[in-house]
Amino acid sequence: MTDIFTLTGRSLRHISRSPDTIITTCVTPVMFMLLFVYVLGGAIQTGSASYVNYLLPGILLITVASGIAYTAFRLFMDMQNGIFERFQSMPIARSSVLWAHVLTSLVANMISLVVVVLVALLMGFRSSAGLASWLAVAGILILFTLALTWLAVIPGLTAKTIDGASAFSYPLIFLPFISSAFVPTDSMPGPVRAFAENQPVTSIANALRNLFTEQPVGDDIWIALAWCVGILVVTYFFAMSTYRRKIS
């Protein structure tokens, strides 16, 4: 744990010296939110009194998908600069190097999520959620961030170019567009609707939306947790296996 916290401090210092990382992570979701609320929102029927209330869960997921690209980027740069070889010669836990990058991603993404929520509040977002619901929202977002961050570790370790290290996040950013994040799935044609209703973003977005509005979460929250935990376990296993091969 001491090794992890020491190396996490190193990574966080890098971010503190380049705050444009967090700013850039926030720009894309905020621009999407402005576009959909003020340009397209009037033509979209969601059954919600405020479209920004309906939209925010999906925007939060896009924020995480944008942020984890920098985890792959930082890992790739450490691999190219020989930092990993230096760490291997030191008496530290091997896994602490990866965990430091993952925890750094978690902290950076939480900051970005707070910024996006503050912008949403300025745009009219309001929630009747109590403390327990907000904690549940935070828990789901933390699990989702950890799951995608461990996924980002894999291309960060295996990519041949810096562009390849971060390009994997593009499909993740656009996945919420084929879900209930922006419009109800009822309006979609058959095959698209079937995909949208059975992919992780829909259940996660629905769970977050219901928590924000203090509505019954039903099965969505359990499906959302199952997706997050399942992705986390699988990606952690493959990331650690890839890491062992790289340093062996």
**Greatest mean pLDDT range, 21-25, 132-136, 160-164:** 132-136
The total of other beta-carbon atoms located within 10 Å of residue 128's CB is 9
Q: Give per-residue pLDDT as tens, 81-125.
A: 776 667 676 767 777 778 888 888 888 889 889 999 999 999 888
Task: Indicate the domain borders of the chain.
Answer: 2-247
How would you label 87-110 residue by residue, b for 16+ Cβ within 10 Å and e otherwise? beeeeeeeebbbbbbbbbbbebbb
Amino acid at position 209, single letter: R
**Is residue 45 very low, low, confident or very high in pLDDT (cuts 50, 70, 90)?**
low
The SS3 call for residue 233 is helix
CA distance 6 to 10: 7
Q: Give per-residue pLDDT as tens, 172-218.
A: 888 888 988 888 888 888 889 999 989 999 999 999 999 998 888 78
Is the CB of residue 33 less than 8 Å from the CB of residue 59?
Answer: yes
Asked whether the CA dihedral 230, 233, 237, 239 is positive or negative, the reply is positive
Q: Say if residue 24 is exposed, middle or buried (CB neighbours under 10 Å; 0-12, 13-18, 19+).
A: middle
In the numeric block, which tokens belong to residue 61?
A: 């997921």
Question: Where is average pLDDT lowest: 24-28, 110-114, 229-233, 240-244?
Answer: 24-28
Asked whether residue 69 carries a pLDDT value surpassing 90, the answer given is no
CA distance 139 to 134: 9
Q: Say if residue 69 is exposed, middle or buried (CB neighbours under 10 Å; 0-12, 13-18, 19+).
A: buried
Q: What is the pLDDT of residue 232?
A: 94
Asked whether the CA dihedral 115, 116, 117, 118 is positive or negative, the reply is positive
Residue 240: which of 79, 142, 72, 98 has the closest Cα?
A: 98
Write down the H helix ranges in 169-219. 169-174, 190-197, 200-212
The rounded Cα 21 to chain-centroid distance in angstroms is: 15
Q: What is the pLDDT of residue 134?
A: 92
Angle (CA) 113 181 186, round 5°:
170
Q: What is the pLDDT of residue 234?
A: 94
The residue length of the chain stands at 248
Is the CB of residue 155 less than 8 Å from the CB of residue 72?
Answer: yes
